[in-house]
Structure 1
Amino acid sequence: MKKVLILLFVAIASFANAQTGYKVGDIAIDFSLKNVDGKMVSLSSYTDAKGFFVIFTCNHCPYSKAYENRIIDLDKKYAALGYPVIAISPSDSAAYPQDSFENMRKLANEEKYPFPYLLDETQAITKAYGAKATPQVFLLNKTKSGLKVAYIGAIDNDIENVNSQKINYVENAADALLTGKKPEITQTKAIGCTIKWK
């Protein structure tokens, strides 16, 4: 009985660690996920990138919809500076048909996404990163050691986009990296829809 309890504790601890995901300072893994154009996309294919905004988002979530234009603007502003947006949909489309690959493709075409919109069909990358909500940003910075996580969390502190005094967390973090500095704020709570796990 004691042996069974020990094995159960080890299994629970391992599962908890698997769900934890990245912390600031960790090196993020690369991936190969299908884009809405049918092509596979990997971070390693962006040879000139200085880093990435890896953003977990989806079609159905009202928070993702509220941030959609800001995500587009983020790519328009920073892709040319070496930090493109890579959007990933982690949602279970069986539970939320709005998040199907076909609907992802339709949304990306309608809104003219300037960035890839990838499907994490197995949710393995979402779990590896430790994303909890949509939208949630992982700002990665390319270093000699690999893609280091520099910031995790919300895009800003103004969901409705009405506060002129809002704090643009992710832009401030990227601006710091572009000047060779460490971001002052490296983690915030991502406010949004919880990820729908399979």
Structure 2
Amino acid sequence: VFDALLGAAIVVPGVVIGISTLVALVQLFTVVNPFLASIWPDDQPPRLALGYGSIIAAHGLFSMALVTMIVGTRLGSLDRNLVEASSDLYATPLTTFRSIVLPQIMPAVVAGFLLAFTFSFDDFIIAFFVAGAQTTLPIYVFASIRRGVTPEINAIATIVLVASVLLVVLAQWQLRQRKPSN
């Protein structure tokens, strides 16, 4: 059931996720804001509203299913004999996790982070629904392109492209450094 829910969360269209997250956040704010007003000591209680916090929360929820699938798959292929050997040698659970489990799952954690970052960086739909008055880069680019492609948009695209190419070249260089020479 858990795997089916994770798979469903990945294949649900972004519009559905954006609208449902917007509705959930608005309902949450209508409950929490009066509560904060009732317990706050002075006349100006903080008000929760759509903004960067809601964008981070929505993208965190959106990315959680993807990262959970990637890391869960790696945990499924974890060598449990090493964990048992660590326990037999009286290692604490924290030491076992830090010395045995984490090194084995770190590639999956990094891959999950990179995919989540890439999807969030590229996502327009969810950010558009939950941003409120805030503007993210995809929203800014989309709004600017509707008025025509400007040199500013070309510069942003060039910076993103160059950064992406540099990261790929750096990753390839790191992989070649790691390979044992014959």
The alignment's TM-score, normalised by the length of structure 2, stands at 0.27
Greater fraction strand: 1
The alignment's TM-score, normalised by the length of structure 1, stands at 0.26
Pick the structure with greater CA Rg: 2
Greater fraction helix: 2
